[in-house]
Amino acid sequence: MIKVIGKENCSACEMTKTILKNKGIEFEYELLTQLEESQRKEYIKKARELGKLSMPLIIKNEQLITLQEVIA
């Protein structure tokens, strides 16, 4: 299962959700602010390590991936 972590008023987050829905790809969507603090910090740490500084974060098998990897 793919998890998409986004934030409020994020056009890229909305676009990602729309693309996944249109492709028929199942996913869970959560707001970063609604995650437990430890989980939030872990996702932010992973994103920074990969140089990803914008939302949304797309996670599959606990690994951060890109939208292109999902829809390929």
Tell me the per-residue pLDDT of 23-67, one tens digit each, with 9 for 90 and over: 999 999 999 999 999 999 998 998 999 888 899 999 999 899 999
Distance between CA 31 and CA 33 in Å, rounded?
A: 5
Residue 23 sits in a domain of what CATH number? 3.40.30.10
Look at residue 4 in the predicted model and tell me its pLDDT: 97
| pTM for the whole structure | 0.89
Are 47 and 5 spatial neighbours (Cβ–Cβ below 8 Å)?
no
When divided into structural domains, the chain yields a total of 1
- Cα 48 to the center of its chain, rounded Å: 14
For residue 35, the enclosing domain spans 2-71
Calculate the CA dihedral of residues 49, 32, 71, 68 and round it to 10 degrees: -30
**Average pLDDT of span 4-32:** 96
**Is residue 1's pLDDT more than 90?**
no
